[in-house]
C-alpha cells in the first residue's frame, strides 16, 4: 500500500494550490481502516479545484529532452494509479476528496 506517498502528494496539493498567497486555513484527514485497505477523506476550506472537478491526468511524453519535461503534472497521474474510487466535491465552502487505498495482495 502506498498510503504515505498518496497522502503526501494530496496534502502538498492542498497547501500549494488551495491556499493561495499568505492565507491560512484548516484541512483535515480522516482515515478508516477496513479489511481491504483504507478509506480516506481529506477536507479543506481553501480555493475549490478549477471547474469543480479533479484535474485531468494524461501521461506526459517522456521521450523529450530532459530540459523540455514539464515541471509538474505528475502528481495526479500517480494518485489516480494508486488510489481507487476518487471522488471530489466542493460544498458549503469546503473541498472534500474521498478515496480508497487497497492493501497489497
- Reported as a single tens digit per residue, the pLDDT across 70-86 is 666 678 889 999 999 99
Can you give the pLDDT at residue 74? 77
Taking alpha carbons only, the member of 97, 105, 81 closest to residue 30 is 97
Question: What domains, with CATH codes, occur in the chain?
Answer: 3-102 (3.30.565.10)
Can you give the pLDDT at residue 42? 97
Can you give the pLDDT at residue 24? 76
SS3 55: coil
Sites in the chain below the pLDDT cut of 50: none
**Set of cell numbers at residue 79:** 494518485
Has this prediction a pTM greater than 0.85? no
Amino acid at each position: 500500500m502506498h498510503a504515505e506517498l498518496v497522502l503526501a502528494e494530496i496534502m502538498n496539493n492542498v497547501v500549494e494550490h488551495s491556499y493561495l498567497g499568505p492565507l491560512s486555513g484548516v484541512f483535515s484527514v480522516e482515515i478508516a481502516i477496513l479489511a481491504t485497505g483504507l478509506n480516506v477523506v481529506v477536507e479543506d476550506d481553501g480555493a475549490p479545484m478549477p471547474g469543480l472537478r479533479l484535474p485531468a491526468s494524461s501521461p506526459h511524453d517522456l521521450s523529450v529532452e530532459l530540459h523540455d519535461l514539464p515541471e509538474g503534472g505528475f502528481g495526479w497521474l500517480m494518485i489516480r494509479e494508486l488510489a481507487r474510487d476518487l471522488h471530489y466535491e466542493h460544498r458549503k465552502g469546503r473541498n472534500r476528496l474521498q478515496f480508497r487505498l487497497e492493501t497489497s495482495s
